[in-house]
Amino acid sequence: MKIFSFMNAYTQGSSGGDVLFVELTKRWKNVEHTVCTSALGEQFCRMKGLTDARFMISTHETEFSGVIRTYVKRILLGLKFAFSVQQLPDIIYVSSDVPCDTFPASVLKFRAKFARKPCKLVQKFYHQNDPKRIISYTAQFFSLALLRQVADVFIGCSQESVDLLKKRGFPESVLYLVRPGVNFSPSVKSESSESSEYAAVFLGRIHPSKGIDDLFPVWQEVLLHHPEAQLALIGKGDEDMMRFYQTEIEKRGLSKHIRMLGFVPDDEVSRLLSTTRFLIFSSHEEGYGMAVAEALAHGCHVVAYDLPVFRKEFGDSVVRVPCYNTDIFAQKVVEYLDHGPKNNSDMQIFRTWEQASQEEFVIIQNQLVA
């Protein structure tokens, strides 16, 4: 089976979609896999274990800057690749709904159609972009309008994402749900007898949409009640973003209390989640919440904004606070530090990445005989 994938990888800090793409596709068997992505995307794929694919590199920037300029460049180079592919694939797999992926993928699908080559376009969908982010919201709007005409299958990562497509009028017959897996090291949990040096951790991409700005006033309020409490930020963003937030931490006098750990290997993430009492998750928009699932799988309590997807996917397992209200967020964290459980809870059972990958691959295979 020949699969041609498009992977956005628009920042040095991996998005949830990037992680999802690598964890699912690196487990495919007996596939001739080509990935169209950026140099940063290839670097991330190889670092996370996707090593047996062929990569077609759209842009070679080492640091992402200039959204519109970079995206236009990637669209043009992606279209060039779409027109130059000699052996048309059986499956076109699109891991994002940004135009630099969806436009070239649609051209490749049209080429296959005109060549009478059986080919199916499988589109991933995570969440509706915030209308306040005008560029990304508009780009998603036009991408979905195009995909309505050319995509054969949409795979959502949560019930919320599938429901959003239904509300937009996409027929149920083309909608599938495949929830992500989690990375989990049971040996780390069993060997962890000491508490973490951190009162709480954040796990995710370092980006404003993840609510990083909200963490600072929250933790300043926490420190009024627990002066020694430390917060660890696990994750990366582009270099400018990392510098900006490090400077912000220093300006607020929080250098001794908030540490930016950057990229952390999976085993160390497991150790931190297994020994830290709380994940505080301030994200403003989520397709699923892989960080939340991973924390719960390690017995780590979660305090997060009351996003609809968290209600549907995790229910009362997550302590939810009104969206964007940092005062109540801080109040809830202090309350749990004062009176909440002193140790991590029992681990919750989530599917493995192997199970998630197999489920999605069966959907993809079935398209070839549909």
pLDDT attached to residue 14: 65
User: Domain residues for 364?
Assistant: 2-181+352-369
Q: What phi, psi does 268 have (nearest 5°)? A: -75, -35
- Does 116 share its domain with 247? no
Residue 165 lies in a domain: yes
Q: What does the pLDDT look like over 165-182, one tens digit per residue?
A: 999 999 999 999 999 998
pLDDT attached to residue 195: 74
Share of residues in the chain with pLDDT > 70 (%): 91
- Does 128 share its domain with 268? no
CA 257 distance to own-chain centroid: 27
Residue 346 lies in a domain: no
- Does 121 share its domain with 231? no
Q: What does the pLDDT look like over 247-294, one tens digit per residue?
A: 999 999 999 999 999 988 888 999 999 999 889 999 998 999 999 999
Q: What is the CATH number of the domain that holds 214?
A: 3.40.50.2000
Residue 51 has pLDDT above 80, yes or no: yes
- Does 8 share its domain with 134? yes
Rounded to an integer, the average pLDDT of 132-159 is 90
- pLDDT class for 91, splitting at 50, 70, 90? very high
- Does 122 share its domain with 22? yes
- Does 318 share its domain with 364? no
- Does 129 share its domain with 233? no
Contact yes or no for 189/274 (Cβ under 8 A): yes
Q: In what order do the strands lie in the sheet with 32-37?
A: 54-57, 32-37, 2-6, 91-94, 120-125, 153-156, 175-177
Enter the tokens of residue 109.
Answer: 């699908």
Q: What phi, psi does 254 have (nearest 5°)? A: -110, 10
What total of structural domains would you count in the chain? 2
Q: What phi, psi does 300 have (nearest 5°)? A: -90, 130
- Does 134 share its domain with 53? yes
Residue 347 lies in a domain: no
- Does 126 share its domain with 210? no
- Does 159 share its domain with 252? no
Residue 132 lies in a domain: yes
- Does 163 share its domain with 129? yes
Predicted structure pTM score? 0.88
